[in-house]
Amino acid sequence: MNPTGPRPLRRGRRLRQRALLAVLATVCAGLFGASVPSGGGQGPQGWDGEGWSPLSARQAMRELGRAMPLPAAQAQTQNQTLLQVARASADGAEPPRPPRPDPARLDYGLQARALAPGVWVVEGRNEDFSRDNGCNIINTGFIATGQGVVVINTGPSRRYGEQLRALIARTVAEPVVQVLHLNQHPDYFLGNQAFADVPQLATVSTRAGMTREAKAYEDNLYRLCGDWMGGTEARLPAQTIGAGPWRVGAREFVLHEYRGHTDSDLVLVDRRSGVAFVGGLVFADRVPTTPHADLPRWIASLQTLQAAPDLRWLVPSHGPVRPGGADLAATADYLRWMDRQFGLWAAAGLEMNEVLRAPVPAEFSRWAAWPTEWTRNVAHLYPRYERAALAATVAR
């Protein structure tokens, strides 16, 4: 009798060992920028049973398929996910552009991009609301917990919510068990009808804001988005959640509540992966939206968030998703510049139309939604600075 088992079983174990170590190596190298033992510096390395040898991510997927065969559809999803994770944060790599929606078929073309094992983002267009993009300018997300999926925001329409739920079902073999809303803006919750059977959660302040604004949001997006909005009615979250630890299945999350972009800006941190969904606090290569903004509070919130340890990804609600904190820093720079300049311009007596013609740093004017969103920034915020300047003059 062979004490180590029949030859086919030993071969199966070796294949599994090689495949899993290869995937682990590629994931670690891509996700964390970690180094692995090399066999000549030819890229990600795989274990060949004796030592590390060059093995590409695709080769690793083939080895995994040989060792642990799966049904074709599930295997394809797994392979795509692990390949995405392995490449997710390669230094200097630009994030992929999200697909353009198809207005003729009312198809958003949603795609799930893996940021870490079990963590996906679904990226929208880095644009302003329009019929061409179906008003899909938001980054939503979902996380597999082992006992169900947590969905982060549900998009701008019932149709988006339905297509998002179908994408989740194609990507992970777990049911949706929770929906979390990070703030009160319309593309965070107008897809809720597709998740009517699932608990939907938001903070007290966000729920109140949604209640106040829901009808106006519906009217505005129907006007801007047309047929994409067919059948959409605001379904408001019925449950309240606040800051603190939150456990769903095997996942441990931490929720932080900030203020500034709105009256309540929730941030979800997945402790296992270091991925933080930061909502509207951070904008990437896009002019921030400001209808409910308080600049000093927003700046203070970003300072606190910037000091948080072990955050590998900050997922903004708008703009490209990439590792690191550069987009947080750029958002803070823009807000500080705007806060400072609005104060100076108001003290100098500039009227709003003069502010709109004033010079702006080139790095900001290159962002998406310029100059439309900049015009809204001025309209939303500058009158406060004018009132403050007038009050200071009267006080003197």
Q: Lowest mean pLDDT of 40-44, 123-127, 174-178, 180-184, name the range.
A: 40-44
Provide the percentage of residues in the chain whose pLDDT is more than 70: 76
Model confidence over 58-70: pLDDT tens digits? 444 444 444 334 4
**215 occurs within a structural domain:** yes
Q: Which amino acid is at 270?
A: D
Per the DSSP assignment, residues forming a β-bridge with 64 are none
**68 occurs within a structural domain:** yes
pTM of the model: 0.79
Residue 117's nearest CA partner among 139, 85, 93 is 85
Residue 282 has pLDDT above 50, yes or no: yes
**381 occurs within a structural domain:** yes
Residues 150 and 190 in one domain: yes
Q: Lowest mean pLDDT of 9-18, 153-162, 195-204, 227-236, name the range.
A: 9-18
Residue 303 has pLDDT above 60, yes or no: yes
**What is the side-by-side order of every strand in the sheet holding 251-258?**
244-248, 251-258, 265-270, 275-283, 313-318
Residues 14 and 119 in one domain: no
Residue 44 has pLDDT above 50, yes or no: no
Which domain does 71 fall in, by range?
7-87
Residues 258 and 123 in one domain: yes
Say which CATH number the domain at 139 has: 3.60.15.10
**274 occurs within a structural domain:** yes
Kindly indicate the confidence band of residue 94, based on its pLDDT and cuts at 50, 70 and 90: low
Q: What would the DSSP string read from start to end of 140-207?
A: EEEEE-SS-EEEE---SSHHHHHHHHHHHHHH-SS-EEEEE--SSSGGGTTTGGGGTTS-EEE-HHHH
What is the mean pLDDT of the segment spanning 20-40? Answer: 36
Q: How far apart are CA 70 and CA 87, in angstroms?
A: 23
pLDDT given at position 395: 78
Residue 328 has pLDDT above 60, yes or no: yes
Residues 140 and 263 in one domain: yes
Residues 66 and 188 in one domain: no
What CA–CA distances, in Å, run from 202 to 182, 274, 303?
A: 7, 22, 23
Q: How far apart are CA 224 and CA 133, in angstroms?
A: 10
* Average predicted confidence (pLDDT) for the chain: 84
Count how many domains the chain has.
3
Q: How far apart are CA 189 and CA 324, in angstroms?
A: 27
Residue 87 has pLDDT above 80, yes or no: no
**332 occurs within a structural domain:** no
**236 occurs within a structural domain:** yes
pLDDT given at position 80: 53
Cβ-contact 23, 60 below 8 angstroms: yes
Cβ-contact 192, 237 below 8 angstroms: yes
**106 occurs within a structural domain:** no
Residues 305 and 364 in one domain: no
Residue 260 has pLDDT above 90, yes or no: yes
Residues 320 and 370 in one domain: no
Number of Cβ atoms within 10 Å of the Cβ of 210: 24
Residues 320 and 342 in one domain: no
**2 occurs within a structural domain:** no
Place of tokens 């073999």: 173
Residue 42 has pLDDT above 80, yes or no: no
Residues 235 and 363 in one domain: no
Residues 261 and 231 in one domain: yes
pLDDT given at position 299: 98
pLDDT given at position 21: 41
**Token reading at 50:** 């004796």
Residue 30 has pLDDT above 60, yes or no: no
pLDDT given at position 98: 87
Residues 310 and 352 in one domain: no
Q: Lowest mean pLDDT of 67-71, 229-233, 323-327, name the range.
A: 67-71
Where residue 91 falls (left for φ over 0; alpha for ψ -120 to 50; beta otherwise) is: beta
Residue 178 has pLDDT above 70, yes or no: yes
pLDDT given at position 19: 44
Q: Which residues are CB-contacts of 9 (< 8 A; sequence separation ≥ 6)?
A: none
Residues 41 and 120 in one domain: no
